[in-house]
């Protein structure tokens, strides 16, 4: 499955496959198959009818997706034309028995999100492994810390990489827990009561959840989108954290700084007009993803305010919004895993840039040393004049790192 050209900078092939027309169709058919089997097992519909529904649903390639798409727009939901097509192929009247359109759409989305989790997890693990290696290899690589984009005091690249790792780890922990909360069956029937199933509603629900490998909610959640919204929020925060890492690296790649470089790869990092350029393309994709998600999340959150048992226009907007947020997280983590795995660190350039400050990075320490002798204001004035090498007691950069190594180790080992 190839990514559409219009999404070429906003999606990965793996997640494009998850959200492809065929994949979405199969997720809906998976719901209908599982429903038929659950109802047959509970004695609600004939077993022969369930078998015919399952056989017809297994032939997803016989469904005309273009026609299904056209009819979905007219019907206001893909469920109506889908059930009609499925019933015609199965030649039975028991498809979708007791269910409603939103049951199919919501559960299909949940099934797709479950697939997305595995894709995202693989790239996240790659990123963690690469950052752990970078932090260890450069535990003692001294560089400038920068505040407000200006030289501050010495730090280490190992600490910087550990900060990226810890932020991404915290972000993924939120995402993972929100996936756990979101992977619930949706099954409420016409008005959320499963009235068409009489007193068999709970029994069928439990069997259906088991068939699909999903959690069973206390009741249908047609009008309550909080669990999905929490997942989208966690994915958005995770993407933004990756965007912060990407921006740090892109700034360190500037020609005037030159302390790191993205890995060289055929077809990546060039310029259509300037052949000498080496652009931070992976970082650019992650930053762009981080810039997209706030608007998508705001729209998704707006859909939480819904009318009564089933709403008009709110939940119907979620498919494209959820896809956009998940794709943004996917392209960000894949890009940054690629960058981290091959990142080139120029320790010599880091040292040169630090030394180019001519001791100004020790101004803070100079004030501490001089204040008892000449007072704080005079000490600050002298430090600002830049004659710091003449002040006794100033250490080399390696001796002015404070708790950098302790913090690095804590970030790698802890969860705070």
- What is the rounded CA–CA span in Å between residue 200 and residue 98? 11
Catalytic residue among 225, 310, 335, 408: 310
Is 271 annotated as catalytic?
yes
Is 380 annotated as catalytic?
no
Which DSSP state fits 396? Answer: P
- Give Dmax over CA atoms of the chain in angstroms: 96
Catalytic residue among 8, 271, 317, 403: 271
3-state secondary structure of 152: strand
- What is the rounded CA–CA span in Å between residue 236 and residue 171? 9
Tokens of 401: 């790192």
Phi-psi region of 273 (alpha: psi -120 to 50; beta: other; left: phi over 0): alpha
3-state secondary structure of 97: coil
3-state secondary structure of 233: helix
Dihedrals phi, psi of 156, to nearest 5 degrees: -125, 150
Which among 323, 251, 317, 316 has a CA at the least distance from the CA of 293?
A: 323
- What is the rounded CA–CA span in Å between residue 314 and residue 97? 25
Q: Which residue is listed with tokens 């599982």?
A: 34
Half-sphere exposure of 275 (CA within 13 A, CB side): 0
Q: Which residues are the active-site residues?
A: 271, 310
């Amino acid at each position: 499955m190839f990514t559409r050209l219009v999404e070429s900078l906003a999606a990965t092939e793996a997640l494009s496959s998850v959200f492809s027309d065929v994949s979405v169709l199969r997720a809906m058919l998976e719901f209908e198959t599982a429903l038929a089997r659950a109802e047959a097992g509970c004695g609600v519909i004939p077993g022969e009818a369930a078998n015919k529904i399952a056989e017809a649903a297994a032939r997803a390639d016989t469904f005309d997706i273009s026609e299904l798409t056209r009819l979905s727009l007219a019907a206001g939901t893909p469920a109506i034309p889908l059930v009609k097509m499925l019933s015609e192929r199965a030649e039975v009247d028991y498809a979708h028995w007791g269910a409603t359109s939103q049951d199919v759409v919501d559960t299909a989305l949940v099934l797709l999100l479950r697939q997305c989790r595995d894709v995202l997890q693989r790239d996240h693990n790659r990123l963690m492994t690469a950052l752990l290696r970078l932090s260890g290899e450069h535990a003692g690589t001294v560089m400038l810390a920068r505040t407000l984009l200006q030289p501050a005091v010495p730090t280490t690249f190992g600490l910087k990489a550990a900060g990226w790792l810890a932020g991404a780890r915290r972000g993924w922990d939120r995402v993972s827990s929100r996936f756990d909360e979101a992977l619930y069956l949706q099954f409420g029937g016409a008005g959320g009561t499963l009235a068409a199933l009489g007193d068999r509603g709970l029994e069928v629900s439990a069997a259906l959840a088991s068939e699909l490998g999903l959690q069973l909610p206390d009741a249908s959640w047609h009008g309550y989108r909080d669990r999905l919204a929490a997942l989208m929020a966690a994915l958005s925060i995770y993407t933004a954290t990756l965007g912060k890492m990407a921006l740090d690296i892109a700034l360190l790649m500037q020609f005037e700084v030159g302390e790191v470089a993205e890995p060289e790869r055929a077809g990546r990092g060039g310029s259509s007009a300037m052949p000498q350029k080496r652009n931070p393309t992976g970082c650019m994709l992650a930053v762009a993803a981080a810039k997209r998600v706030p608007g998508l999340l705001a729209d998704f959150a707006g859909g939480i305010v819904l009318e009564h048992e089933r709403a008009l226009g709110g939940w119907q907007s979620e498919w494209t919004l959820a896809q956009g947020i998940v794709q943004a997280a996917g392209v960000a983590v894949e890009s940054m895993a690629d960058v981290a795995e091959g990142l080139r660190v120029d320790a010599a350039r880091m040292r040169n840039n630090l030394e180019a400050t001519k001791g100004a990075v020790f101004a803070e320490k100079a004030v501490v040393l001089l204040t008892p002798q000449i007072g704080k204001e005079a000490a600050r004035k002298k430090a600002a004049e830049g004659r710091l090498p003449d002040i006794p007691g100033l250490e080399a950069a390696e001796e002015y790192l404070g708790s950098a190594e302790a913090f690095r180790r804590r970030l790698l080992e802890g969860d705070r």
